[in-house]
Amino acid sequence: MSNSKRENWGSLRKLPSGRWQARYPGPDGMTYTARTDQDRPLTFLTKTDAGTWLAGVQSNMARGLWVPPEETAARLQAELEIEQAQSLGFEEYSKRWLEMIRTEPNRSGKKRAVGTVRSYQGKVTGYLVPEFRSTPVREIDAARIKVMTDRLDQIPAPLNPNSKFNGITRPVLIVLMMILRQAARDGIIPAAPNVSVPRQESVRHDADHDAGEDVANPIQVEALYEAVPDQWAIAVLLAAWCQLRRGECLGLQRRDIEWHDDGSATLHVRRQLNANTGGYTDLKSEAGRRSLSIPKLMIGRLQQHLEDYVSSDAKAPVLPADRRGSIPLSNTRWGYIWADVRDGVAGLPHRFRFHDLRHTGLTIFAQEGATLAELMRRGGHADIHIVLSYQHATMNRDRELADRMSDREVTPWLLELHPMHPNPRWFHWRSRPRTWGFRSRPSGVESLTALSVGIGLGASFALISTSCGGVWW
């Protein structure tokens, strides 16, 4: 005898367990068995209960409210996840966010560099998690962020305790806003709080600091070279005269130096030693990948360095941790070496960084007449605004020379050079600025004197005329 009984609509069946099961035809022609909102099997204690449930399903169908059980379950699961996410603590959500940026590409479709991810992680674990911990993400509003900002602002700058800016607040706020904007995209919060991130300011110097003050002179560069242990001294010249970054110096291998028949050499910058990972990584940008002419002044020293300290293997590091070793000198160890020697060189700018050697070299390169394009290529810059700082230093030098020239009296200067001239007023500044000329066409002895003066001072006048933008005639 069958335990199944057909109703006017649907059917009921008594299971071996004694409970009742309901089945019904769906509007899509499929036959469905009773299930919970979580899409699990649903049975009933009594036949009446099963019939009542079946009548409810029939009523929903008649009103057009019926939804397949799996769709109902998916909707409820999504709602549950949103509810759980909205109560999710910051620490837990920040872990998910860090994993996301580690594995997923950025907006340009590229995978984020390991160093970038570690930098973000440092901000999260070092500052944000201690601040918010299990605070629900939805409770982090502008007021809470202001409290954190004020607290961060009290941390003194590591490089300059007297600085108004510590170099901490801004990057921490940037990472926090990245997390909150992602939370908004995930539906955890309606929108990220409207928080103003402070603009970038110099940590080491005051606002009126001139970048030219961070430039060493060649004598000081030489003193630094002599102060560094012989095995790594070449790093000073690579940074100053090849304008390399620290990671680029430490990432050099023997194969990156190309020697030519005429004794010159070319340096190929192809990789860097990452300070966060301790391994070789790609350069920060495509612009960083470049080939540089090695100045003559360091050719001999570079050759000697390679002979004394670098293995013959093509992939041997130019700056090995140990003599002729295969492991490059680490960023950390070099930092200690630099700190030991820097303070022993007289006259260096306050807290002179190894990176300032690169700044020194590029500034001198600009003073020698390099164009913006040449500076960008030499330094491996992708941003023209950074390069402008080196030309700014050049303009400071130009202004200094112009002021020197203006401070001198023109007539006494000429008399000192040619005291026998019968008419010192013959030379004068024309009404047009920065242009030398005659009051009137000279004749007789004046012509001869003018000729002698012109021959004797031609080079000097030509130089002045060119630098001042004038015309000698």
Query: d(Cα 89, Cα 188) in Å, to the nearest integer?
Result: 11
Q: Which two tokens stand for residue 373?
A: 């394009």
Residuewise pLDDT in 10s, the chain (473 residues): 445 555 568 999 999 999 999 999 998 889 999 988 888 899 999 999 999 999 999 999 999 999 888 888 888 888 787 777 667 899 999 999 999 999 998 887 888 878 788 889 999 999 999 999 999 999 999 999 999 999 998 888 766 666 677 788 999 999 999 999 999 998 889 899 988 887 765 555 555 555 556 789 999 999 999 999 999 999 999 999 999 999 999 999 999 999 999 999 999 999 999 887 788 988 878 889 999 999 999 999 999 999 999 999 999 999 999 999 999 999 999 999 998 998 889 888 877 899 999 999 998 888 888 888 888 899 998 877 777 776 665 555 556 656 665 565 444 444 444 444 444 443 333 333 433 343 333 444 443 344 333 434 343 433 333 334 433 33
Query: d(Cα 446, Cα 423) in Å, to the nearest integer?
Result: 8
Which CATH number, 3.40.50, 1.10.150, 3.90.550, 3.30.2020, labels domain 88-185?
Answer: 1.10.150
Letter string b/e over residues 250-264, b meaning 16 or more CB atoms within 10 A of that residue's CB = bbbbeebbeeeeeee
Question: Is the pTM higher than 0.85?
Answer: no
In terms of Cα–Cα distance, which of 18, 94, 24, 105 is closest to 57?
Answer: 24
Phi–psi pair at 368, nearest 5 degrees: -80, 0
